[in-house]
Amino acid sequence: MLSNNKKLVAVIGATGQQGGAVVRALRDSSQFKVRALTRNPDKHRELTGEVVKADLNHPETLKAAFEGAYGVFLVTNNWEQGADELKQASAAVRAAKDAGVKHFIWSTLPDVEAISGGKFHVPHFTGKAKADRVVEEAGFVNHTFVIAPFYYQNLVSVVAPQKLADGSLGWALPLDPDVRCIHMGDISELGNIVAGAFAHPDEAGNGEYLPLVGDFMSFNEIVDALNRQGHNFSVKQVPKEVFAGLFPGGAEVADMFRYFQAHTYLGSDSHDRIALANKIAGKQPTRFSTWARLNVPPPDKR
């Protein structure tokens, strides 16, 4: 297809894990051209042909960022100091409507507050879920929700194994490690679902929820899979109060793990949604052990 005939998709978070995956998948498709959005376009010219400034905290930047776009992919980053995800998402929805965007895709998470009847407080989940209504009510020709899983990548970054009190290497978590409750995945594969949804708005552009899930595991199963590949990790359950005091923001992360145990990561039976997401992506997502073999080398293979 000639480049002029390709539909333009503007991608927020293009320098990050989710948006980066979306940029790569769209760049590889024959149907779309990509506008990568970042607060610092001069630092990221290599991303794709068109790199444009966008700052969700400065909605006036979003007009030029979305101009002429058929589609927008939006992810917000709660870990950024002072980020108000509902406010940022609302600003992006408003700007996309004004720009005449047809298909809006929002990376959301389950509403932990509603699912748990207010028992667990996980603002970086619930805060995203609260924006779903804003997207829904905006009246785009098409809109889609994608749900990012617990990234496999967390296990070599923010949730990397630590030295435990007994001297072993592994995880101390406020979670029963026997309970299978974590929907996980290789976040670099999120782009396949997003590009597929832009390409098939008839099947996936009517408010469908599309979770990326490569595996569904307990923490003991995660540890067993790694140990079968030459590691010697362990996992111990610790009281939530102990975990909450380990680092700033620990209480929220403790509630997140307790929510996983009580309700699972996705919070409900998501079999049909996962099947649709995989169909739309056009491929099965990578299983954890396959990903780990390539990305978590045991000490003697480093």
Ligand X SMILES: NC(=O)c1ccc[n+]([C@@H]2O[C@H](COP(=O)([O-])OP(=O)(O)OC[C@H]3O[C@@H](n4cnc5c(N)ncnc54)[C@H](OP(=O)(O)O)[C@@H]3O)[C@@H](O)[C@H]2O)c1
Give me the residues that bind ligand X (CB under 6 A), please: 12-19, 38-40, 54-57, 75-80, 109, 124, 148, 150-151, 154
- Of the two residues 187 and 201, which places its CB atom closer to ligand X in the complex? 187
We find the least distance from the C-beta atom of residue 142 to ligand X, in angstroms, to be 22
We find the least distance from the C-beta atom of residue 118 to ligand X, in angstroms, to be 20
We find the least distance from the C-beta atom of residue 148 to ligand X, in angstroms, to be 4
We find the least distance from the C-beta atom of residue 289 to ligand X, in angstroms, to be 18
- Of the two residues 77 and 289, which places its CB atom closer to ligand X in the complex? 77
- Of the two residues 150 and 260, which places its CB atom closer to ligand X in the complex? 150
- Of the two residues 89 and 201, which places its CB atom closer to ligand X in the complex? 89
- SS3 per-residue string spanning the chain: CCHHHCEEEEECCCCCHHHHHHHHHHHHCCCEEEEEEECCHHHCHHHCCEEEECCCCCHHHHHHHHCCCCEEEECCCCCCCCCCHHHHHHHHHHHHHHCCCCEEEEEECCCHHHHCCCCCCCHHHHHHHCCHHHHHHCCCCEEEEEECCEEHHHHHCCCCCEECCCCCEEEEECCCCCCCCEEEECHHHHHHHHHHHHHCHHHHCEEEEEECCCEEECHHHHHHHHHCCCCCEEEEECCHHHHHCCCCCHHHHHHHHHHHHHHCCCCCCCHHHHHHHHHHHCCCCCCHHHHHHHHCCCHHHC
We find the least distance from the C-beta atom of residue 75 to ligand X, in angstroms, to be 5
We find the least distance from the C-beta atom of residue 13 to ligand X, in angstroms, to be 4
Question: What does R_g of the chain's alpha carbons equal in angstroms?
Answer: 20
- Of the two residues 29 and 126, which places its CB atom closer to ligand X in the complex? 126
- Of the two residues 10 and 56, which places its CB atom closer to ligand X in the complex? 56
Cβ-proximal residues to 263 (8 Å cutoff; 6+ apart), any chain: 112, 115, 116, 181
- Of the two residues 91 and 225, which places its CB atom closer to ligand X in the complex? 91
We find the least distance from the C-beta atom of residue 120 to ligand X, in angstroms, to be 15
Residue nearest to ligand X (CB): 16
